Structure 1
Amino acid sequence: MMAGETPNEFKLNNQPTDGISAVKFAPNSSQFLLVSSWDCGVRLYDVIANNLRMKFFHSSPVLDCCFQDAVHSYSGGLDNTLKMFDFNMGAETHVGTHDAPIRSVEFCPEVNVVITGSWDSTVKLWDPRTPCSAGSFSQPDKVYTMSVSGDRLLVGTAGRRVLVWDLRNMGYVQQRRESSLKYQTRCIRAFPNKQGYVLSSIEGRVAVEYLDPSPEVQKKKYAFKCHRIKEDGIEKIYPVNAVAFHNAYNTFATGGSDGFVNIWDGFNKKRLCQFHRYPSSIASLAFSHDGTVLAIASSYMYEQDEIENIPEDSVFIRNVTDQETKPK
């Protein structure tokens, strides 16, 4: 069976027309999905009806997006600008800017703050009530990826650095770490149980890290190889672009430039399953809040520059089972 023909999976209609940068489910919903793209668009889909509900635009490619609540989204990208979209009003608000592209946009419900990470080596906080700036915080290098863990913020920067910040007290960095992977960080995501995080690199590896600095907890950290394919006796190694957690089970999905999605049980160091190969690189992944649905962005990421017949950019919606996501 070809991709998209499995009974538990379908392709979204009205796809973005250029590379997909992020897919995010609405909080507490498996119905609404936000998708940002290099075509400068931010799209809101109803995945149950499989239709495009709304489309907003930036002046340049959009690199990330997030929901604040069911009716507001935030997004940023190569125009250096953070925008808020109000779905009820169909209106946009220009919230503020960075000095370089915005790479990462997150919302922290615990502290009620929107967070942007930029290639200008800063993280900025934004108060969604106004919306206005609530402070700018220097990072050691370009911000590549961020994840919220309760009231903490995990920041992955260039130079393989990881910073742990307390969003209620940004006066100092809680922890400064170095990635245990030798190559550039691609994605960081926090465990839903707030005990640690998963970090992926451009070199087919994933690290499972713990936040508690005590030696006995740090002994549990490890890294593993994945998204590697042997072809004609040669091992091809692919970037691991995307990580997404199942909120209930603390298991996680990884997506690579090999076009595969794997589901892992990080605590028991086991792969639970692998789906079929998708038409192109996996650019982004998101589980719905209840973990029943996984959104999979299959989108060529120019890993080998220009190729002929680039597969179309597609978001697949897959209904996942306990069999696939629950620790054995």
Structure 2
Amino acid sequence: MAGLFGSTASTSASTSQTLGDLSKDVTLSNPPEDSISDISFSPAPGNTDFLAVASWDKKVRIYEVAANGQSEGRHSYEHAAPVLSCDWSKDGAKIASGAADNQVKVCDIATGQTAQVGSHDQPVRSVRFFESGNGTMVVSGSWDKTVKYWDLRSPQPAGVLSCQERVYAMDVRDNLLVIGTADRYINVVDLKNPTKFYKTMQSPLKWQTKVVSCFTDSAGFAIGSIEGRCAIQYVEDKDSSSNFSFKCHRDPAQNNVVQVHAVNDISFHPTYGTFSTAGSDGTFHFWDKDAKHRLKGYPTVGGSIVATTFNKTGSIFAYAISYDWSKGYQHNTAQYPIKVMLHPVDPEECKPRPTTRRAK
């Protein structure tokens, strides 16, 4: 669907309307010392925002972010190897992290104490909190081809799911767990029945899955691939037009050659249900999946965007810039930027646009 979202048929007037402004973006103070792998805002209510940042320097850092974007480091804790994922509990009291040391750790924010709550046989690629009948739990996905559930009071997993391949991406929303693995498998799990796959499919995208992200209403999920494409997928197939894919993060063709870039992260706006894509090309875009329309595209930020997250109200969009290894080790120079930027979100950037299209 090349013309979807108006990307190929933009006039200069519409382009100026959809070009976003980065001039008010603020840099997070004291960023990590090595590539950033994940960022996560606390969903807990309150006037202050807390941002967790996971890094290849083996640390998880917690920052307090004021409404004006000013930030201050509040706490950090370590793994024995690069940290690949971090996530907040719903009440903002705990942070879970997974790392290349094969461990799942949880940090208690009130006490600053960190405990190992789980382990895998290979690096832990993704961790997420979720609420169950037994209280707050953590689910972890690993390159050992398993997904494990952890009750924070027990060192043994409460359940294990064997996947077809290594877990590359994972997300949770309400009772929806989506797992993306190598070989393009996508597994959907109903967390009310957590040890069975509710549905298994091959990704509609032809290349390796980089990210999966659940809709805010948990009715479906988005998939991003290494080949500059994004897919919108509903859990229950409503009709053939509900699920679709579109091109993004691609340079204009030169001599009939199009440079494509990995979609590194997808984040959904907590209020509007619109979403962002961010890529190796150093740009991010806001999209409306229901109107099949691009809302805003932003100029390059000077380095690959590796992770993104909205704060709890959707007033701040954080994006992490660091090398993503998409071009091999030789491009990872000492001068490559490592930073987290805080973008103040004007509602007009993310609000769904009124559409004149009628449902067929």
Q: Please give the range of the TM-score, normalised by the shorter of the 2 chains.
A: over 0.9
CA distance in structure 1 between the aligned counterparts of 2:299 and 2:318, rounded to whole angstroms = 14
Q: How many residues align structurally?
A: 322
In structure 2, the gaps of 5 or more residues are 1-20, 354-360
- Distance (Å, rounded) in 2 between the aligned partners of 1:154 and 1:218: 21
What amino acid sits opposite 1:295 in the alignment?
A
Which one of 104, 126, 140 corresponds to residue 104 of structure 1? 126
> For 1:324 and 1:309, how far apart are their aligned partners in 2?
34
State the match for 1:12 in structure 2: 28
Return the match for 1:65 from 76, 86, 89.
Answer: 86
Superposition map of 1:224-239 within 5 A = 224-230=246-252, 232-233=254-255, 234-239=257-262
Query: 1:141 — aligned with what?
Result: 165
The one-character-per-residue Cα deviations of 1:154-188 (angstroms, maximum 9, x if unpaired) are 11111111111122213421111110000000000
Q: CA deviation at 1:17?
A: 0.7
Look up the equivalent residue of 2:216 and give its one-letter code: P
Cα distance between partner residues in 2 of 1:198 and 1:133: 28
What is the TM-score normalised by the length of structure 2?
Answer: 0.86
Equivalences for residues 215-294 of structure 1 within 5 A: 216-230=238-252, 232-233=254-255, 234-294=257-317
Partners of 1:64 and 1:103 within 8 A in 2:
yes
| 2-structure distance, mates of 1:291, 1:42 | 23
1:76 alignment partner in structure 2 = 98
Displacement of 1:133 in angstroms is: 2.4
In 2, Cα distance between the equivalents of 1:152 and 1:50?
33
Cα RMSD between the aligned structures? 1.7
Distance 2:22 2:189 in 1: 42
One-letter amino acid of the counterpart of residue 39, structure 1: D
Query: Residues 46 and 52 of structure 1 are in contact (CA less than 8 Å); yes or no, is this contact kept in structure 2?
Result: yes
| 1:94 alignment counterpart | 116
Deviation at 1:255, TM superposition (A): 0.3
Q: Secondary structure at 1:248's aligned position in 2?
A: coil
**Structure holding more strand per residue:** 1
Percent identical among aligned pairs is 37
How far 1:218 sits from its partner (Å)?
Answer: 4.0
How far off its partner does 1:132 sit? 5.2
Q: Is the 8 A contact 1:228 1:236 kept in 2?
A: yes
Q: Secondary structure at the match of 1:217?
A: coil
One of 208, 226, 244 as aligned partner of 1:184: 208
1:248 shift after superposition: 1.3
Q: Tell me how far 1:6 sits from its aligned partner.
A: 4.7
Q: Which of these residues, 28, 39, 52, is aligned with residue 34 of structure 1?
A: 52
TM-score by length of 1: 0.94
Instruction: Give how far 1:94 is off.
Output: 1.4
Kept in 1: contact 2:160–2:195 (CA 8 A): no
Matched residue SS, 1:173: coil
Which of 27, 50, 55 is the matching residue for 2:71? 50
Q: Is the 8 A contact 1:79 1:101 kept in 2?
A: yes
Larger radius of gyration: 2
Residue identity in the other structure for 1:247: P
Q: Closer, same or farther in 2 for the Cα pair 1:217/1:110, shift >3 Å?
A: farther
| Unaligned 5+ runs, structure 1 | none
* Matched position secondary structure for 2:349: helix
Amino acid at match of 1:41: K
